[in-house]
Amino acid sequence: MIKVNDVSYTYMRGTPFEKTALKNISFDAARGEVLAVAGHTGSGKSTLIQIVAGLIDLQSGSVTIDDLPVADKKIRRLVGIVFQYPEHQLFEETVERDIAFAPKNFGLSDAEISARVDEAMRQVGLDAGLKNSSPFELSGGQRRRVAIAGILALKPKYLILDEPTAGLDPLAKENLLHELFGAIKRSGVTIILVSHNMEDIARFANRVVVLAQGEIVFNGTPRELFAREEILARAGLEPPPITQLLRRLGINQIALTLDEAEKLIISRR
């Protein structure tokens, strides 16, 4: 379990440019849960996930991962983080070598590395025939999958996804999300999904933490969040299209899927 307790963070402390990014943040992420972190640009999402991943040192409060303090080097094997546009970090000559790069740094055997590469490629829906291809000759969606597979090859228990579909066309986005929240979730990995897309959160998240100006303004289920218009407005977020449609039809109930919305509309008729 990830436990974040009373975490605050201020950039450029003690200078005229001091800016508080996080204020007294506390939440947990349980094993196997998909926890969404939502908020408008500048809400503190990026700072928060970098602290949880151990990339930024704590200033106050505490973060533990499986009871280990976040500063413990052991968590590097527990937590994987995929930033926006991770394909910009690709550099090896072949897909296989790029995915294998991180596991090699942990001193795994060649056989184990090969097995992990194969599994990671399956998890993100990459054809095995692409192993010897240059990642720079692939489509944008395929490059994104290669980059994510490189993180999955480490077999993290906790996976942080920072806007994983940013910049992808609708079809590539849908295919990637289907793969990520299918095979990966079934493996029992805890996923922290950072997103401002309420439709994705409605479909995949068990729970959502909403940030506004560095503070948590909501912590609950997506269904509970979409019923709180004032929270969404404060955080600068839009409800998913399904919710907006139902409201226009005068239906004051929440649907997370098209099937749910269809049943509500039919029942009204």
pLDDT exceeds cutoff 70 at 226 = yes
pLDDT at 142 over 80: yes
Torsion of CA 259, 260, 265, 268, to 10 degrees: 140
Of 6-10, 157-161, 264-268, give the lowest mean pLDDT range. 264-268
pLDDT band at 144 (very low <50, low <70, confident <90, very high): confident
Confidence of residue 100 (pLDDT cuts 50, 70, 90): very high
pLDDT bin (cut points 50, 70, 90) of residue 35 is very high
Q: What is the CATH number of domain 1-78+194-238?
A: 3.40.50.300
**Which residues of the chain are in CATH 3.40.50.300 domains?**
1-78+194-238
Give percent above pLDDT 70 in the chain: 99
**Whether the predicted pLDDT of 2 surpasses 90:** yes
User: From CA 253, how far away is CA 68, in angstroms rounded?
Assistant: 42
Does residue 187 carry a pLDDT above 80? no
* pLDDT given at position 269: 64
pLDDT of residue 160: 92
Q: What is the mean pLDDT of residues 77-86?
A: 83
pLDDT average, residue stretch 60-83: 90
The pTM of the whole model exceeds 0.95 = no
Task: Compute the mean pLDDT over every residue in the chain, rounded to the nearest whole number.
Answer: 88
The CB-side HSE value for 89 (13 A sphere, CA atoms) comes to 18
Higher pLDDT pick, 264 / 10: 10
Identify the burial level of 14 via C-beta atoms within 10 angstroms of its C-beta, where 0-12 means exposed, 13-18 middle and 19 or more buried: exposed
**What is the reported pLDDT for 243?**
85
pLDDT at 247 over 90: no
